[in-house]
């Protein structure tokens, strides 16, 4: 059963520095620069027929804010297509919600806190509005709650609210990796750090409602924390201090692309971004959106040169060893690798072939776009 994924807008009324609007390999400090646009929904329906489900999950924006969302809901209802709309909590008029509800649209709400923790991560979130959304939309609403130490205290009252309104909850543990994660506002001001919960629960990543929620009301343990900026947080941010505004990748001159033929697989699902570009690969879709920001051209030529020098798989092995703190031991044939690898990151290397694919197809005018 295939799904059509629509990235219908880059506009949002809220800001979340953990999401692509404020976070990437090369950016942490505030809202990124990317085009603000709404997808022309009238052009979408020539691509709908093979797909049973339509997911509106905006990469930078909030799908609920699209001014013609009611049109999409009506067409999907007529065509008997399942429509799921993702939101980060941007406020919309109740008339919009009423129309979506009559067309049997499911809303998927991402929350990084509730009640007094509602704005710890998602800035400009109106909790009174969220509470009214839960009370109005009821069983057609799914909440994904991202759990960390500083918002565990809000879980029990949130469960009570969901029980009262027959709402489904899905708990996600946010794995912050190397220590705390730093939270910013859209202006780039560092607010504080947040920490992963210490415990793993067997109820994570499950959709829970009614009796299942009632059974876990007291499952989460409160954890000690301080809401503060940390020394480790500053240490993790130092890399990003050198990554100020740059050109986007599509505007820089690349003399040489990757010479190795690296396969970019095609998927059954389809992804259409807010500018109307069509992709049959999720990573390619996400990479395109990242590339149009002004902070993703740093060192791209060095990544391409590394791959052309050692090959793609060997380049991954080299960076993996370096990131495992054994670079002083590592050698690759007779090559001196330090000038090839200074400051490079394995995760970015992994998507470099996707950037290469995009650059090649833009150059040849071969990217598919809605007409």
pLDDT of amino acid 327? 45
174 shares its domain with 287: no
77 shares its domain with 200: yes
233 shares its domain with 342: no
pLDDT of amino acid 244? 67
pLDDT of 330 higher than 50: no
User: Does any domain span residue 338?
Assistant: yes
Q: Name beta bridge partners: 169.
A: 143, 208
Q: Which of 266, 271, 277, 269 is nearest to 371 (CA)?
A: 277
Query: Reduced to 3 states, what is the DSSP secondary structure of residue 27?
Result: strand
Where are the strands (E) in 25-180, listed by range?
Answer: 53-56, 82-87, 106-111, 122-123, 141-147, 168-173
92 shares its domain with 208: yes
Of the chain, the percentage scoring pLDDT greater than 70 comes to 93
206 shares its domain with 318: no
Q: Which of 171, 94, 109 is nearest to 140 (CA)?
A: 109
81 shares its domain with 134: yes
Q: What is the pLDDT of residues 340-356, one digit of tens each?
A: 566 788 999 999 999 99
pLDDT of amino acid 79? 92
pLDDT of 328 higher than 60: no
Global pTM reads 0.92
pLDDT of amino acid 342? 66
Residue 11: how many other CB atoms lie within 10 Å: 18
Q: Which of 360, 359, 249, 262 is nearest to 311 (CA)?
A: 262
Question: Number of helices (H) and strands (E), helices first, in the chain?
Answer: 11, 13
Contact 149, 225 (CB under 8 A): yes
Across the range 120-131, mean pLDDT stands at 98
228 shares its domain with 329: no
Q: What is the CATH number of the domain that holds 32?
A: 3.20.20
Q: What is the pLDDT of residues 147-169, one digit of tens each?
A: 999 999 999 999 999 999 999 99
pLDDT of amino acid 326? 54
288 shares its domain with 171: no
136 shares its domain with 259: no
The sign one gets for the Cα dihedral 359, 363, 367, 371 is positive
- Please give the tally of structural domains in the chain: 2
Q: What is the pLDDT of residues 206-262, one digit of tens each?
A: 999 999 999 998 888 888 888 999 998 998 898 888 766 678 899 888 889 999 999
Stretch (H or E) spanning 74: helix 69-78
Residues in the chain: 371
Q: What is the pLDDT of residues 85-116, one digit of tens each?
A: 999 999 999 999 999 999 999 999 999 999 99
Across the range 332-340, mean pLDDT stands at 51
Contact 289, 58 (CB under 8 A): no
């Amino acid at each position: 059963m295939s799904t059509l994924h629509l990235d219908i807008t880059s506009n949002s009324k809220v800001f979340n520095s953990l999401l692509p609007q404020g976070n990437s390999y090369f950016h942490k400090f505030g809202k990124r620069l990317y085009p603000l646009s709404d997808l022309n929904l009238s052009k979408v329906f020539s691509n709908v027929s093979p797909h049973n489900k339509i997911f509106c999950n905006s990469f930078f924006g909030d799908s609920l804010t699209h001014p013609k969302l009611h049109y999409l809901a009506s067409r999907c209802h007529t065509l008997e297509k399942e429509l799921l709309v993702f939101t980060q909590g941007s406020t919309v008029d109740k008339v919009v919600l009423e129309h979506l509800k009559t067309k049997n649209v499911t809303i998927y709400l991402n929350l990084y806190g509730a009640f007094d923790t509602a704005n710890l991560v998602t800035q400009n979130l109106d909790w009174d509005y969220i509470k009214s959304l839960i009370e109005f939309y009821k069983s057609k609403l799914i909440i994904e709650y991202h759990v960390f130490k500083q918002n565990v205290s809000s879980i029990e009252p949130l469960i009570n609210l969901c029980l009262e309104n027959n709402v489904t909850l899905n708990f996600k543990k946010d794995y912050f990796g190397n220590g705390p994660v730093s939270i910013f506002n859209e202006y780039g001001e560092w607010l504080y750090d947040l920490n992963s919960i210490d415990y793993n629960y067997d109820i994570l990543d499950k959709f829970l409602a009614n009796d299942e929620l009632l059974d876990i009301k007291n499952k989460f343990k409160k954890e000690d924390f301080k809401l503060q900026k940390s020394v480790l947080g500053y240490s993790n941010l130092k890399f990003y201090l050198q990554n100020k505004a740059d050109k986007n990748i599509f505007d820089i001159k690349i003399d040489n692309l990757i010479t190795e033929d690296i396969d970019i697989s095609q998927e059954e699902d389809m992804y259409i971004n807010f500018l109307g570009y069509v992709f049959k690969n999720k990573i390619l879709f996400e990479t395109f959106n990242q590339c149009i920001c002004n902070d993703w051209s740093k060192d791209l030529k060095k990544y391409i040169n590394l791959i052309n020098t050692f090959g793609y798989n060997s380049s991954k092995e080299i960076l993996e060893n370096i990131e495992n703190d054994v670079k002083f031991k590592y050698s690759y044939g007779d090559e001196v690798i330090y000038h090839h690898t200074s400051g490079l990151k394995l995760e970015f290397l992994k998507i470099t072939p996707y950037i290469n694919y995009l650059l090649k197809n833009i150059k040849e005018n071969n990217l598919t776009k809605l007409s």
